[in-house]
Structure 1
Amino acid sequence: MDPAFTPLTTADTPAWADLTTVLARADETEEFYSAEDLAEELAEEGVDPQRDTWAVRDRAGDGIVAFGQVRVRVRAELLHGRAIVLLGGGVHPDWRRRGIGRALMDRMEARARELAAGRHPGAPVTLRNPGGLETDPVRHLLIGRGYTLSRYFVQMERSLPGPTPAPPGPTASSATPPSATPSSAVAGYRIVPFTAALSAGTHRARNAAFADHWGSTSTSEAEWADLIGARSFTADCSFLAVASGSGKAAAGDVHAFCLAQDWQDGQLYLALIGTVPAARGVGLARACIAASLEAAVRRPDTEGRPRFSRASLHVDADSPTGATRLYRAAGFAAVKTFATFTRDLPVRSSRSIPPS
């Protein structure tokens, strides 16, 4: 019996989460998701689960053995004149080499063309797909379909508590005890926790900080709301560098940030770290990271024990800001290298698809 391809629904999220756990372990991605996380993905702006997602059922129809997703960000800017389409998915190891991956890619690429042409009429299209580790079998599938390896991203980790970055300064050592407080580490700035009142300023800082990063475009207000409203977002471990008004920067402006997420037991994920170009080089990001790590050490779980035993992040291997050096100085070490593959498509005309 051939497997059945059906859209993902909220009722599927427990089985879908089970599959992502299997894939995270088998392919060593460590991308673990809860059913609640996946339900949020289905509800994101611009996602039509009926047309943009696929579940492949086992013969009994109970379990999910593969899935696929396509996303074209709503109101996203073109990147160097091209529309970017994000593809993703996976096949259970026991169900590989049966043509399921190829069948999923056929469906995803067809929908990708339609979405991109509708939201960015006349623009050429670039498909972007994660390529995993060097041993991931998906790479053979992607290369066979005309994708090329475009970028490497490094996963870095460190233990907690451990040392935290020293406050920036001419006499600062490379590390200080976890009890150090970086809240006044940089003259003219305060290092403060993320709050709703600072959300808009942090959003502006994010767009400014990532403007020169590979593959990045501005985040819309709706996308930002999804990010900070997600179950995984951890506001009390997210810190900002806010201008105090004693220097050239206007008081209250957010110039750097370290935004944290809680995806799996024991690990704090530093999802977004950045500094606006005009404020780089004075240690703002390092101070924000230090504050986030300290907060993580202090955060208890439901039984009063330390919630986090390690912290992790991903960084572009060719980051123009020298971020890898910053993270090494903060105690992080490279543990894995992942690849991103892309494929450029010619222009196809299509009717316009509404933004939401």
Structure 2
Amino acid sequence: MLHATLRPSVVRMSTEPSSPPALAPIAERVAAPAHLPLPEVDGLVWRSLTLADAPALFALTAAVEEHDRHPFRTSLEETEEMFEGEWRDLARDTLVGLDVDGEPRAYASVDTRPGDASVVRAFVQGAVHPRWRGRGVGRQVLAWSTGRARQLLAASGKELPARIAGYVQDGDAPECRLFEAAGYTANRYYSTLRRDLSLPVPEVALGDGLRVVPWSPELDEATRLAHNDAFRDHWGSEPATPESWVHGRSMFAPEWSVLVVDDAAPDGVAPRASTGGGPVVAGYLLSGRYEQDWPVAGYSSGYTETLGVRREYRGRRIALALLSAGMTAYQAGGVEFAELDVDTENPSGAHGLYASLGYEKKDGSRMYSIEL
């Protein structure tokens, strides 16, 4: 099963949503099971995960990633993030199978996000040790995860379209077959792009009072507001709450993250920081530093986690300025490539923008989902 989350990067432009069809009550649509049986596998006993399991879970994940030749490695810090989030109920939303020596040989985690406002989502994640495959472990763990996801969606009480989703690397054929056999469909595809930083980085001039500034904690709330505005017309994106916005930052690289701000935005153009003061963040590029991936890739890189531009500021070269500033920061950090992920169905013209800057496809992944 999948053991790492996708690192998305998307530039957004306006797309108007169509009118949603009438829906049956969510409790009927998701068909949540009243009872959730544990997997039955000779040699494994099952319980919930705890934070104390993080080092052993990290070792399991590393064994899976090496065996499956995935183009990344999950750090211990990223593993520990699985246990974070005030909205999480680890006792009910996680599962680990232990062998006779108490070593984890399979695990599952189901997660939701509190801010979902147009589609309520549950994400499944897990792994099976290579030596324990071929015994139906993955099939049973995914069945448990899907059942728990249905329970979480029903318990949300949100009368919205619903989705159960998991992410798979394009080259992982067994994983794809596992999801397809469980009733999931590949509904979205993503490309990982990279750009050689030995090439010149273009200089981009911004007018009308816009300026590029480094990310700072003081502007982070304003950046969250900009993100929610930039991504409100993006397929699969939901509003980030203050809690979910800061979740998952173990690999965050503030020194490689930049913003475009408008100090003189007129009232009503965009909401300002929650303090009521400070500039409007018109666009942002947030970066990650995944040094554990570099030996696998064979080169060092700066990773663009998220890139967005507010609706009111599109068409003003802000995305280009952010990417250029980000690449300049990566160069100053001494790394060799810039990397990001992009939705292949992105309607904003992002692929053309990235190609014009010298980005090329490295590999890809896909989202499997059950739409409810």
- TM-score range relative to shorter protein: 0.7 to 0.9
CA apart distance, 1:186? 4.3
Residues 247 and 116 of structure 1, relative CA distance in 2, 3 Å threshold: closer
Q: 1:216 aligns with which of 233, 237, 240?
A: 237
Q: 2:346 aligns with which of 319, 326, 332?
A: 319
Residues 67 and 267 of structure 1, relative CA distance in 2, 3 Å threshold: farther
What is the letter of the counterpart of residue 235 of structure 1? P
Q: Which residue of 1 aligns with 2:195?
A: 158
Residues paired across the two proteins, number: 316
Deviating more after overlay: 30-39 vs 314-323: 30-39
Q: Which residue of 2 aligns with 1:144?
A: 181
Taking the aligned partners of 1:162 and 1:57, their CA distance within structure 2 comes to 49
Unaligned runs of 5+ in 2: 1-41, 271-277, 293-299
Taking the aligned partners of 2:148 and 2:260, their CA distance within structure 1 comes to 41
Three-state SS of the structure 2 residue aligned to 1:271 is: strand
1:285 lines up with 2:319 in the alignment = yes
Under a length normalisation based on structure 2, what TM-score does the superposition of the two structures give?
A: 0.78
What is the letter of the counterpart of residue 178 of structure 2? L
Aligned ranges 1:316-355 → 2 under 5 Å: 316-345=343-372
Q: 1:115 aligns with which of 147, 152, 155?
A: 152
Taking the aligned partners of 1:268 and 1:286, their CA distance within structure 2 comes to 17
Q: 1:84 aligns with which of 121, 132, 135?
A: 121
Under a length normalisation based on structure 1, what TM-score does the superposition of the two structures give?
A: 0.82
Taking the aligned partners of 1:5 and 1:160, their CA distance within structure 2 comes to 47
Q: 1:167 aligns with which of 196, 200, 203?
A: 203
Which one has more relative contact order, counting CA pairs under 8 Å at least 6 apart? 2
Taking the aligned partners of 2:62 and 2:253, their CA distance within structure 1 comes to 21
Give yes or no for contact 1:69–1:88 (8 Å, CA) kept in 2: yes
Give yes or no for contact 1:78–1:84 (8 Å, CA) kept in 2: no
Q: Which residue of 2 aligns with 1:15?
A: 56
Q: Which residue of 1 aligns with 2:78?
A: 37
Residues 128-183 of structure 1: CA deviation (Å, up to 9, x unaligned)? 1113214431111111121111011111112334332x234xxxxxxxxxxxxxxx
Superposed CA RMSD in Å reads 2.3
CA apart distance, 1:71? 1.0
Q: Which residue of 2 aligns with 1:174?
A: none
What is the letter of the counterpart of residue 140 of structure 1? R
Three-state SS of the structure 2 residue aligned to 1:268 is: strand
Unaligned runs of 5+ in 1: 169-183, 300-305, 346-356
Taking the aligned partners of 1:321 and 1:278, their CA distance within structure 2 comes to 14
Q: Which residue of 1 aligns with 2:113?
A: 73
Q: Which residue of 2 aligns with 1:242?
A: 261
Give yes or no for contact 1:71–1:85 (8 Å, CA) kept in 2: yes
